[in-house]
Chains A and B, each alone.
Chain A
Amino acid sequence: MIFIKLFLVFSYIGLFNFGGGYAMLSFIEQEVVAKQVWISEAEFTDIVAISQMTPGPIGINCATYVGYTAVVNDPFIQSIGAPQFFGILGSILATISVVWLPFLVMIWISHIIIKHKDHKVTRSIFAILRPAIIGLLAAAAISLMNIENFGHPSTQTNQFILSIIICMTVFCGVFWRKWNIIYTTLICGIIGIIAYGLIGI
């Protein structure tokens, strides 16, 4: 039965995924495309693209979409009919399955941290961890400064220049003037529509 398998596979993916969203994508690919053959490579590529460009955690987006598609593709479900309805159930099940075990782990750790937060060992651990976390954030920001996000400097010069302007302006606005992040993102989307969609630079 596809639902039991979905639950088991996504619980397994959730518990053993240690590398964040992008690591989870390759984990899902191995389990769902290569081992279980629930969805095709091409379907998975589309799912990854959509997971990246829609809001929300990438791993959750991908799990939700794969859960839906896997159920809709299932021959047994197709023979019953109403695949979309079962697909919705599949997406909810995949999402909950990927989340519930890490949730229990996290609650257990949170409990320990809150209880022992003033202990010298806890403090020392975080005294080293905090600077390391800054490094993680810096690496994420640096690795996203790429051609896909900014455009190519020589072949897509206009996009590249506009991207640099947007990036610098948003940085200064949020850093010094405390701009609202949601509105800032929406306005940048509107700028994109005007510049690339309407004017076509």
Chain B
Amino acid sequence: MKSHNKDLFVTFMKIGGFTLGGGAAMIPLMEQQVVTQHQWLSHSEFMDVMAVSQATPGVFAVNMASHIGYKVGGIRSGIIASLGVVFPSLIIILLIAIIFSRFRDNRWVEAAFMGIRPAVVALLAVPVFKMGKTARVTWSNVWIPILSTALIIYGVTPALIILVAGVAGFLYGLTRKDNQQLSK
């Protein structure tokens, strides 16, 4: 368990320290680390946590860290993973606040970010296609992702979409008699 906690802290510190652009931008790295490398969650479990983290209050990345930590090693590991993901922010922001308050205007920093921003967009597009398979998107339910994309671009808040989808799934589950037909 101890080594789990150290792994959790270091992994989530990497996730917090190497992703620009906040919540959604962390997903590709988080998936690579949590699912592919450490195998703390399966692909489909990872997607479930994403849905729940979007629908619950708070900061998305911290909610993800809380759940993953909790699943690996209980409440204490949940706390450790959450602290890991906020730790780099704390250090970096404090350094900037104390030392470089003119950081934003530095042309080298700006140049680096001009290179990084398009990469962030590409990194977000990768899981869209990868996760389509895990989520069992087929011709019969492809309208769900398309509709949710359209609604968000139209300005509907993601939390509302998740809640509606969750309630719809709940009602769908109540009307089903069999327990086997829905694959995991």
Contact = CB atoms under 8 A, between A and B. Distances in A.
Please classify the interface of chain A as helix (H, G, I), strand (E, B), loop, or mixed, using the class held by over half of its residues: helix
A56 B115 contact: no
Contact of B29 (A113, A129, A150, A181): A181
Contact of A56 (B16, B145, B157, B165): B16
Interface in A65-110: 65, 68-69, 84, 87-88, 91-92, 95, 98-99, 101-103, 105-107, 109-110
Interface string A37-58: 0000000001001111111111
Nearest to B60: A20
A94 to B, nearest CB: 10
A180 to B, nearest CB: 8
A190 interface: yes
A54 to B, nearest CB: 5
Contacts of A95: 86, 89-90
Size bracket of the B interface: 35 or more
Contacts of A20: 22-24, 54, 60, 158-159
A49 B157 CA distance: 22
B123 A193 contact: no
A131 B141 contact: yes
Nearest to A114: B71
B28 interface: yes
B115 A166 contact: yes
B48 A166 contact: no
Nearest to B70: A110
A166 B104 CA distance: 23
Interface in B152-171: 152-153, 157-159, 161-162, 165-166, 168-170
A106 B108 contact: no
